[in-house]
Amino acid sequence: MPNMMRTRWLPVLMLALSLLAAGAPTPARGQGGSVTLNLVSWSYGVEIVRDNIGKFQQRYPGVTVNYNDFSWATYHDAMVARFVSKTPTDVLYSSDHWLQEWAAAGWIVPVDEQFPQVRQYLTEYSPFVREALTYKGRIYGTPYYADTFIFVYNTDHLQQAGLATPPATLEELTRQAETIKAKGIAEFPIVLGWGQQDPFSIESFTSLVFAQRNGSLFDKDLTPTFKAPGSAAEKVVTWAADALGSRKVLSPTSLQAANVDQIRALQSGAASFGIIPSYSLAVLNDPGQTQLAGKFKIGLMPGESHATVGFIRFYAISSQVPRRGKEAMTAAWSFVDYFGGKTDGEYRVTKRWSLEKGLGFAQTALFADKDIRAAFGKWADVDMLQKQAQLARAKEGMTPYYGTWDVFSRAELHKAYLGQQKPAETLGNMAKKWEELKAKAK
Amino acid sequence: MTRRALAATAPTARPGSRAGERCYPYATVLPVMLVVALFTVYPLIYCVHLSLHENVLTRPLDHDFVGLQNFREVITGYYFWRSLCSTALFASMAVLAVTLYGLGTALLLNQAVLGSALLKVVVLLPWAIPAVISGIIWRWIFDGDYGVLNGLLLVTGVVRRYVPWMSHTVTARLCMVVAHVWKQGPLAAVFLLAALQVIPPELHDAAHIDGAGRWDGFRFVTLPYLKATLALVLIYETIVAIATFDLVYVMTGGGPADATAIIGWYAYTEIFRFLNLGHGAALAIILGVALLGLVLVYLRALGSEET
């Protein structure tokens, strides 16, 4: 009988042990090295990332990197889930959209507190990059890439329509689009990546606002200026609603399009004008991807000031790392420094991204780099690219609640574009939401 | 056999092992109970706790008890009533369409035709495909730039140019309903087919002899037999439609504007994008209670039908 009892208890014991084993934490130390880092990024150039990780591990044999990636459109939500559930995450990609939100939530840590040497890079960055990497005076990482939103046009379409130069203002853009439409060259000559799921959409919209006279969204006290009658934002929203609704020159697919969909529409010749992050021009003019390669050029952002949004995506360190101890923190800094800083006196990884994928950079001096000029020259007018970059500004209203306001605004803007409500009403709602979030944050 | 004899033949167990035997059933049930508590009861309690406290992720140190404030803020918020209307619209269209599709398919499959066994498997396939995958398939089908639907309509001359289905509020809602029906319809069809197959054929024969046509046969013989199953389908599909989230996530992201931002999506947005766990939990509880109420109404209706 005792034997039988033991046999009965055995499965219970085994189940309990297996549950304990399943719940055991992932070891922080890897097999190949003394510290394991969990890297999370969005899915872009994954093979290059893996190769860079290999090179990093060769240089730092004591560090092993585990790598996970998520799509750009769902990255924010996936990261929120990871942070809240405390899924092991050590180094990660982040964006200036989310820096303040993630820092305020305590999910990422300032790098310069323990590694003040990160500040040595600041002088080499464009002003908008310095601003975008900083929260409460602290630096939160090193740049993965920094880029600007540019206005692009199909030279063939303009030539066929008898247009000598690209549009300089929004009014001119509408006129040129109407000419192209009237001549049957493109049914909807303008396409934009204004789908609600794409975090790029607010940056694309803001670029157009910045390009207008007095183009601004907030004042220094973070009070919304966009709701004022006749504001640059109202001009842009009114223009978009008109282009989509009455004149039918803005493609309706813009409201569901992500940046990649916009690129496809341009590559197929279905559209003539678009607003894209500048690295996407490398894809547009890639002969391996489209027969229209070489036909796309940069025009300054349509508007009186031609200003645009400069943005940054960066390598950040999760707040889980300091809790793991000094060794892990040093390894994380090595990673962030290797990927976004200098190795043997040069920005090796940054330069690789620029050469192979056309990604922009935070370091203004790289515009003079011979290799980069040659590589960029294959798909863009580098001087023009630099000219637009010099007019770039960081997004305004960067606060812990910007992300919430951004998501709210994307839906509100759609209502105005679709004619469901007047532009002033949309902007009023956006301002109200902003004030509500601002009041709660105090 | 006397009691003494029985006692003599009984195995002699030590007091310790007797206690072990008494504990054994509890010990074997305990892991299951723990799992149920861990995955059902604890989340529920935690959800209620969240809904009664301030829980904004960007203010990690503020977790004050706020009573029903989260519920008040959610209900008086900008999106609540809009999302409720969108949910009611979507659910009513989806439930009606799924039920009709299920009924039609079940009636067709109930005919003894060549290959009907294979057809039954094929019809069920969409149900076996994960909702996210089916959402992606339908997003591609409806795509305004390269969607296969546009291609077909253009080739057959139905449309003159590609239609951006997902960029207009009305068509975006319809696209969602179509995708939902494709995914959920097969299950309804299987339920109804099972019910159809237990209807005695003599009843139809008798109705036919009495001069009933196909419609009368359906109305007076088939439908009464299907009532209970139809009620079950209605309950289940209403719950599924109201709690739909994955299709919105994959296909529309709640847009264009907030046309497809149904309440499940709104709760997701509050948590993962607005980072307000208190609001999200309050919404989840409101949604749960509303669904429970609806189920009770349906069950009461079903009960009265059965008596």
Q: Give the mean model confidence (pLDDT) for residues A390-412.
A: 94
**pLDDT at residue A274 is higher than 90:** yes
| Best residue in B32, B145, B248 for a mutation probing chain A (most A CBs within 10 Å) | B145
Q: CATH number for A148-310+398-441: choose from 3.30.230.10, 3.40.50.20, 3.40.190.10, 3.40.1050.10.
A: 3.40.190.10
Identify the pLDDT of residue B297: 85
A87 touches chain B (CB under 8 A): no
How far is Cα A123 from Cα A133, in angstroms, rounded to an integer?
A: 13
Identify the pLDDT of residue B212: 86
User: Between residues A19 and B175, which one has the greater pLDDT?
Assistant: B175
Identify the pLDDT of residue A305: 97
Q: How far is B119 from chain A (nearest CA, A)?
A: 36
Q: Give the mean model confidence (pLDDT) for residues A280-309.
A: 96
Question: Identical fold at A35-147+312-376 and A148-310+398-441?
Answer: yes
How far is Cα A212 from Cα A205, in angstroms, rounded to an integer?
A: 12
In DSSP notation, B205-264 reads: HHHHHTT--HHHHIIIIIHHHHHHHHHHHHHHHHHHHHT--HHIIIIITT-STTTT--HH
Identify the pLDDT of residue B79: 87
Q: Give the mean model confidence (pLDDT) for residues A153-160.
A: 98
Confidence of residue B204 (pLDDT cuts 50, 70, 90): confident
Identify the pLDDT of residue A7: 46
Q: Give the mean model confidence (pLDDT) for residues A236-262.
A: 95
Identify the pLDDT of residue B62: 87
How far is Cα A295 from Cα A305, in angstroms, rounded to an integer?
A: 26
Q: Where are the alpha helices (DSSP H) in chain B?
A: 3-9, 15-36, 42-51, 69-75, 80-109, 116-128, 131-142, 148-155, 169-196, 201-209, 214-217, 223-242, 246-247, 263-268, 277-306
Residues of A in contact with B169 (CB under 8 A): 418, 420
pLDDT single digits (tens) A83-134: 999 999 999 999 998 999 999 999 999 999 999 999 999 999 988 899 999 9
Mean pLDDT of chain A: 91
**pLDDT at residue A138 is higher than 80:** yes
Q: What's the CATH fold of domain A35-147+312-376?
A: D-Maltodextrin-Binding Protein; domain 2 (3.40.190)
Indicate yes or no: CB of A404 within 8 angstroms of CB of B273. Answer: yes
Quick one: which H or E segment has residue A338?
helix A326-340
pLDDT single digits (tens) A417-439: 999 999 999 999 999 999 999 99
* Domains of chain A, residue spans: 35-147+312-376, 148-310+398-441
- Picking from A196, A404, A412, the nearest residue to B275 by CB comes out as A404
B238: tokens are 């209403």
Indicate yes or no: CB of B253 within 8 angstroms of CB of A403. Answer: no
**pLDDT at residue B124 is higher than 90:** no
Indicate yes or no: CB of B60 within 8 angstroms of CB of A106. Answer: yes
- ipTM surpasses 0.85: no
Q: Name the pairing type of β-strands A138-139 and A108-109.
A: unpaired
Q: Give the mean model confidence (pLDDT) for residues A147-169.
A: 97
DSSP B77: S
User: Between residues B298 and B209, which one has the greater pLDDT?
Assistant: B209
Residue A388's φ and ψ, nearest 5 degrees, are: -70, -40
Q: Are A357 and A368 in contact (CB under 8 A)?
A: no
Confidence of residue B188 (pLDDT cuts 50, 70, 90): very high
DSSP B165: G
Q: Which of helix, strand or coil describes residue A148?
A: strand
pLDDT single digits (tens) A200-248: 999 999 999 999 999 999 999 999 999 999 999 999 999 999 999 999 9
A404 touches chain B (CB under 8 A): yes
pLDDT single digits (tens) B84-121: 999 999 999 999 999 999 999 999 999 877 777 888 88
Q: How far is A102 from chain B (nearest CA, A)?
A: 7
Identify the pLDDT of residue A12: 43
CA nearest neighbour of A335 among A94, A59, A132: A59
Identify the pLDDT of residue B13: 53
Identify the pLDDT of residue B82: 92
- Picking from A15, A101, A270, the nearest residue to B145 by CB comes out as A270
